[in-house]
Structure 1
């Protein structure tokens, strides 16, 4: 039935794949696992099955995963094969705010005695080990902190004090040893008999039965681990669709094919993906601009090839995609790497290459992939390297070619992704991107409400303005707790206001539902029983402006506190009570335009300004400053420019020589732009990047394969 729903007509190729997979699943005794996973995903309306399990057509037809493995050529053997000993491992994402409910439902559905959470083993790091050892020797936290400052500057070996020599010697031995047990964020086991029949159990701080083992130990003990994880972007999609329903805009999920939507593909090809799950980072947006490709298959490639050790291969990939002639490193790799232009991109490419060129078994090839991915190195990697070189030699692969391929394999050192995983996430990316293109205000409201994206709220507010969205509020009569949208207007939620209590947010919304909008400040203050701190937060954010357009915010606060349903303290009355004549005089002098002090307080309350870019706060320093607007950078390729930079995000990386450098995203009032600080410049200017004070950025505008980047030459604070 699932296959018919997914495919309509089940042809021979589909039936053959289903039969093949079911045979392996049956032989290995894993059918109950798939049925359990099917039950679990039914507990939520929106899920994303990912990882290597997304290569399974059985998972797809059971609605555990959402990517067609046949259409996208996903490699099932990366998940299960006759020679693979590992149990199946399907990670399933739920909306981040629904996951706890899913865990509760799982324990209820399968029985509390039959379920247990997996542990995390938190290990000592060197600083923590030094601190704990020092305490054991009777030292106070103050003594330890003072000594730490010297220790980690001069080094552990530069000590004269015999006691500290002993402490450091012991601490070094403690490093990487388990310190305490906590609960894994998503790991779960379900057993046919009560879990205590198989393993000892503890109790987590949340009250869940807890295995003593972490994920590796759980698998070694022959448990089949299930991972149920939280994903904010699933909540973004859910909330966007719900917000649209309020305006009678309905998207039929059965007929929704965002991967085929041309405006969405065009937007992604330009790197217009801020707020879009999985592909909104500066590096990813730059890669999109370089390639000019926004179709599903290329998004899958790009989200996989972006990894720390692959920079040189990314450059080669872009050149090949844009027309550079290339040949596969070996004819046997042509069918494996053709879709990625001859570049190893996915985890399974490592395994497939080892099998094709060096004659590895599927099992050994998978072990090689794991050794590389987990930075195991050492003797294991040397053994596999020798096996790979010997196998390639036996198959008449030249040593030069073998070396090049081995080096490309090493770019998977650390984290990397399999194609099924990237394809699963790319599907969520496309749904997000579609909503951004066609319903921008509703989408950005949901992004801001669910937080946790790559950027701060200020960056998303700026992006919304660049998209032509009207920003409104926060407003005592219009704002909900979360952000929401109507038409092309995005309403800031009460959640955006710093220090406003949840109790106050709920009370405001409930009071409006019960008795309607607030007519003026006195009406609001008489109906709401809020603390002084809550009123201060509301006023400073501008939330009460619409009820008192001609009042300064200090006067708004006086009125609210003197008429509050909660009796103000006597010193508050003394502070805010004024003669009536003074109040009239204040109203006459005030204009709608906010004072500099009010704007600074507004920024402190919200993290952004309601109606302007934060650079307005430094307007006095910007007047008369000769600079290029970020939106005009394309006219200055190859030239040195002065820009104003309001920092959005930065990423520090290490060069091969072990030096720190940084990629920094800035914006001004007109656009975002990307910069790079190479080691010498980063060493000199990195202290300036630790605050939100805007900077004067002097640098060289370069065209990096079609994406602009400013190579920074000098930084200074605006106004310095």
Structure 2
């Protein structure tokens, strides 16, 4: 029989042997030397007093690492981070690991823990013996490339990917249940789309609560199959569906790794452990989270475009984080495309918060989390920040700890420092007690220790009880400041790029699509920023969005990949054969399918080579479409470069007399072919009607007084139903009208009037009253909503 400890090394850390790292000396000595050598690089020209502080902090961290025997762990992660940088891939640390000075000096993290007031003990302490987590964000477009490089670096016997159990949730359970019952795909899809923010096990009870499920609920009374679908969906809830590759986990171990974990091929072909993340600590494996982040890809692409177009070498890590123009742009709340702060809730919080420095970004990102929001931390913080209330620090000893958050305990690090100050315990023990606060039986032990120790240090019973009442409920509400600071770095970097290089940044965003909104909204944001959009053109477009010169201005050229149904071989041929002299030349050399050729013509991608790109042309796009249908009626002949070519110029003569397409028809073609309104915003079609109705543009909502009755219209770009403290459902809708984004909130009564529209219709008109929540914080308390297309049809009938 196997002995877990002797045979499997139960609970014993297993990292790659030092020989695989190229380390021949004592690993701890190597770690000590590398960390100290990096001080001059990270802190050039530092003064003696500051150097002493850094050295003291570093020594404390190194002592803890040596005591735990984790030197090889840090060297391994640093080796992986350096390997990624050598591949010229952007990298950033996230999580509590940003609180380590060692990680900062080794280049694993780009956050200075001393400057940001972060604690090493929140990340690692001698009170815990399990390997800590260091999460690394990388460019999503190159994540698999990194995985393969790690396998090459350490060998297949020391590395596997991590797996995860994929379980049934509401929509997945409905879809699989419907398939098993043989229900119509479209009907099942409609049911699934209306399952918003509730568990599959509550399907039947939610049918009576959700207005959008009312029609389906009636059908189940007479349709046995649909009634059975509800039962099946509820029974499938949380059951395992399949094992899949973890989105970011890589397991590193010693040469015995494959003796201790079963593996199977992953979707990308690399070996995948059948263990999940919960098995890592007892098995002692090093779990490295290499998370692909699309914003990192977007920023990397932006930097490449800046170099290509303007010949500027840019290192974002060296950009100063106190640029006033960056914070001025953020304070406008036009944060679309910025990491972490582009959601409707974050935009509203930005309007209230009005950040002016880097730590404000850390604070804002940390406050907009489920814990702090449930703990009602945002309002007292904002009131204290803007002088509406006098901050309450509870005791003079806690002033410096709570000064940055105006008396509100927001961060885990603050709780740890309060524990240390009031009880005299170490920060390591304070973190262990913080972890125990979420467990009722252990929380009572912490309470007794805190009150006894604080009383022994002459704190009055009133102060002790007051502080404990805050700490007691903090366990489930607080947030790790190191995590917030790590997120604030790419937030600032993305804001800096948007401020100083908007054209290149928009190209990066459109190419890698990193945000929560549809790509067409980025086109609207480009127009708002004054960034010129260049339509698809077979002579200039590529597989990516690229910055190109058009006349004297730079613009962003839309990608060929936006053409619906275009294949990769077709796109590769078009790009490879560029440029083209005319339509026949394009047809013969690029050899697109008839469908692709027509779609290219419909969106104007052939206008330039066909000579129909301006209003003065003899021919128009309709003439071109007629000609395309003629020449594509037969397959394009293959061109033999060794044979003399026939003169095919006569084939390029376009017919005349066809009615040119209107602006609306061109826009409709763009929407049908690309799903985007490239030439102009689709709301322009309704502009005359909206003006007659007195509809307010999104950009004007911020200037209105609170409680003003308004009508807003636009494209629905986001629908959210986050969990609320009251337990009641609140629906948040965001509309884009080309001038900006208007956010509306629907409570119970308003939902009953129009819930079907909120989840199904894309074009909406919303009535309501403005609600001012800060300097630039404005939202609309919705009263009703209508289908904009139906209103347009009615208006057209009356107009005719």
User: In 2, are the aligned partners of 1:328 and 1:342 still within 8 Å (CA)?
Assistant: yes
- Segments of 5+ residues of structure 1 without an aligned counterpart are 373-379, 570-578
1:632: Cα distance to partner? 2.3
Change in Cα spacing, 1:628 to 1:64, as seen in structure 2 (3 Å) is: same
2:557 alignment partner in structure 1: 491
What is the SS of the residue equivalent to 1:542? coil
1:132: Cα distance to partner? 8.9
What is the SS of the residue equivalent to 1:648? strand
What is the SS of the residue equivalent to 2:310? coil
1:327 aligns with 2:392: yes
User: In 1, are the aligned partners of 2:709 and 2:770 still within 8 Å (CA)?
Assistant: yes
TM-score by length of 2: 0.78
2:321 alignment partner in structure 1: 259
- After TM superposition, the structure 1 = structure 2 runs for residues 192-271 of structure 1, keeping only pairs within 5 Å, are 192-253=254-315, 256-271=318-333
What is the SS of the residue equivalent to 1:81? coil
Superimposed CA distance per residue, residues 262-310 of structure 1 (whole angstroms, 9 cap, x where no aligned partner) = 2112212332321111222222222222122231110011001102343
CA distance in 1, matches of 2:420, 2:57: 22
1:697 alignment partner in structure 2: 766
1:72 aligns with 2:116: yes
1:348 alignment partner in structure 2: 413
1:583 alignment partner in structure 2: 655
CA distance in 1, matches of 2:411, 2:130: 19
Change in Cα spacing, 1:700 to 1:537, as seen in structure 2 (3 Å) is: same
- After TM superposition, the structure 1 = structure 2 runs for residues 151-166 of structure 1, keeping only pairs within 5 Å, are 152-153=203-204
1:479 alignment partner in structure 2: 541
Change in Cα spacing, 1:355 to 1:217, as seen in structure 2 (3 Å) is: farther
User: In 1, are the aligned partners of 2:525 and 2:738 still within 8 Å (CA)?
Assistant: no
Of residues 360, 365, 379, the one that matches 1:315 is 379
CA distance in 2, matches of 1:170, 1:358: 54
CA distance in 1, matches of 2:342, 2:177: 43
1:508 alignment partner in structure 2: 574
Change in Cα spacing, 1:680 to 1:165, as seen in structure 2 (3 Å) is: closer
CA distance in 1, matches of 2:532, 2:316: 32
Moved more, 248-257 or 99-108: 248-257
CA distance in 1, matches of 2:358, 2:508: 23
1:92: Cα distance to partner? 0.8
User: In 2, are the aligned partners of 1:641 and 1:701 still within 8 Å (CA)?
Assistant: yes
CA distance in 2, matches of 1:172, 1:585: 62
User: In 1, are the aligned partners of 2:598 and 2:628 still within 8 Å (CA)?
Assistant: no
Superimposed CA distance per residue, residues 565-612 of structure 1 (whole angstroms, 9 cap, x where no aligned partner) = 97179xxxxxxxxx99992222xx53xx73533321211222222221
Change in Cα spacing, 1:203 to 1:584, as seen in structure 2 (3 Å) is: closer
1:20 alignment partner in structure 2: 60
2:662 alignment partner in structure 1: 594
Change in Cα spacing, 1:629 to 1:269, as seen in structure 2 (3 Å) is: closer
CA distance in 2, matches of 1:351, 1:418: 11
User: In 2, are the aligned partners of 1:346 and 1:419 still within 8 Å (CA)?
Assistant: yes
User: In 2, are the aligned partners of 1:354 and 1:388 still within 8 Å (CA)?
Assistant: no
1:636 aligns with 2:694: no
What is the SS of the residue equivalent to 1:658? coil
Change in Cα spacing, 1:16 to 1:404, as seen in structure 2 (3 Å) is: closer
1:172: Cα distance to partner? 7.8
1:111: Cα distance to partner? 0.5
1:647 aligns with 2:716: yes
Of residues 49, 67, 70, the one that matches 2:93 is 49
1:572 alignment partner in structure 2: none
2:502 alignment partner in structure 1: 440
User: In 1, are the aligned partners of 2:717 and 2:735 still within 8 Å (CA)?
Assistant: yes
1:381 aligns with 2:417: no
1:628: Cα distance to partner? 2.2
1:5 alignment partner in structure 2: 41
Moved more, 643-652 or 85-94: 643-652
1:338 alignment partner in structure 2: 403
1:370: Cα distance to partner? 4.9
What is the SS of the residue equivalent to 1:304? helix
1:117 alignment partner in structure 2: 161
1:558 aligns with 2:609: no
User: In 1, are the aligned partners of 2:582 and 2:652 still within 8 Å (CA)?
Assistant: no
1:470 alignment partner in structure 2: 532
1:42: Cα distance to partner? 2.2
1:575 alignment partner in structure 2: none
User: In 2, are the aligned partners of 1:699 and 1:713 still within 8 Å (CA)?
Assistant: yes
1:22: Cα distance to partner? 1.6
1:280 alignment partner in structure 2: 342
What is the SS of the residue equivalent to 2:251? strand
- After TM superposition, the structure 1 = structure 2 runs for residues 512-531 of structure 1, keeping only pairs within 5 Å, are 512=578, 517-531=579-593
TM-score by length of 1: 0.86
CA distance in 1, matches of 2:485, 2:64: 23
1:107 alignment partner in structure 2: 151
Superimposed CA distance per residue, residues 629-652 of structure 1 (whole angstroms, 9 cap, x where no aligned partner) = 222224431311222232221221
1:244: Cα distance to partner? 1.0
The higher relative CO (CA closer than 8 Å, separation ≥ 6) is in 2
CA distance in 2, matches of 1:713, 1:173: 37
CA distance in 1, matches of 2:633, 2:62: 67
Alignment RMSD: 3.7
User: In 2, are the aligned partners of 1:526 and 1:564 still within 8 Å (CA)?
Assistant: no
Moved more, 701-710 or 100-109: 701-710
CA distance in 2, matches of 1:322, 1:169: 52
1:709 alignment partner in structure 2: 779
What is the SS of the residue equivalent to 1:464? helix
CA distance in 1, matches of 2:787, 2:413: 48
What is the SS of the residue equivalent to 1:709? strand
